[in-house]
Amino acid sequence: MRITADYHTHTVYSRHNHGKGSIRDNAMAAYKKGLRTVAISDHGPGHYIYGVKRELLPHIRKEIDAINEEMRDKDFRVLLGVEANVISYKGDWDLDDRLIELTDIRAAGFHYGVHMKGLSDTLHFFLLNPLARFIPPLRRYMRRKNTDALIALIQKYPITFLSHPGEKAEVEIDRLAKACAKEDVWLEINASHEQLDIESIKTAMQVAGAKFVINSDAHRPETIGEVEAGIVRAKRAGLPADRIVNAVEQEEVCKSS
């Protein structure tokens, strides 16, 4: 199994030196690795440490359009994406209509470096959520709450995939996968994080219509397309390539006798 697109890569536009390469660096690295598509998906502006500056998005759009124009005779595209942040348990995020319009694809997920909308959301995410690992009833409660937030989010906004679902905030993966299948949102198998893990993939793939994507979440050009860890988990779970939007089965190598 191999991937033909990497929809989750960061650049220098993720602030504080979080992403190391320029858009061009990422694009060229992806092209050289034989990918047909790469998305530049820096952290959403609500991330107060790494978030992209809202006012730079139009400039980033132009930079990407220029690269696509240069490479128009190649079978290769750069997409403008963003990795948006969940900022409330009602399913709010840190993108506005303008950013939705500017982007080609949108990922969304829970991240710590955000200001949650209200006191209750702040307490739930930053206090109860980490505590929940040690207290089983609280764990069930938070899983349900985190899942409700993501479902509300995907029902409200045009989301392409959920980034590393289950990382940073545990979820009820079966219920989430059903909602994703209904809303046509992909579940990410993130090669840089542990989620989706093998058990979650196994559960989610039982849901008819649930689709997956394997991404690198590269923060430097060299690791774009490096998704071996994700492929291993997909294979161990028994997930076939036709359930993964950016994967194909490896061509058989013909052995001559």
**Contact positions vs Zn ion (CB under 5 A):** 83, 163, 217
d(CA 188, CA 210): 11
Which of residues 27 and 114 has its CB atom nearest to Zn ion in the complex? 114
Pick the closer one to Zn ion by CB: 31 or 161: 161
Least Å from the CB of residue 130 to Zn ion: 17
Decide: residue 74, CB within 10 A, 0-12 exposed, 13-18 middle, 19+ buried.
exposed
Q: Which residue is nearest to Zn ion (CB)?
A: 217
Residue 170 or residue 217: which is nearer to Zn ion going by CB? 217
Tell the burial category of 197 from Cβ atoms under 10 Å away from its Cβ (0-12, 13-18, 19+): middle
Minimum CB separation from Zn ion for residue 26, in Å? 13
Q: How far is the CB of 201 from Zn ion (least distance, A)?
A: 18
The alpha carbon dihedral of 44, 225, 194, 149 has a sign of: positive
Q: Say if CB 183 and CB 154 are below 8 A apart.
A: yes
Residue nearer to Zn ion on the CB measure, 83 or 104: 83
How far apart are the two ends of the chain, measured CA to CA in Å? 25
| Least spacing, CB of residue 87 vs Zn ion, in Å | 14
Bond preceding residue 196 cis, omega within 30 of 0: yes
Residue 110 burial class via C-beta count within 10 angstroms: exposed 0-12, middle 13-18, buried 19 and up: buried
**Minimum CB distance to Zn ion, residue 100 (Å):** 19
Comparison of 19 and 91: residue with beta carbon closer to Zn ion: 19
Measured between alpha carbons, how far is 165 from 212 in angstroms, rounded to an integer?
Answer: 11
Shortest Cβ 56–Zn ion spacing (Å): 17
Of residues 81 and 91, the one with the C-beta less far from Zn ion: 81
Distances (CA, A) of 222 to 41, 80, 87, 171: 16, 19, 31, 31
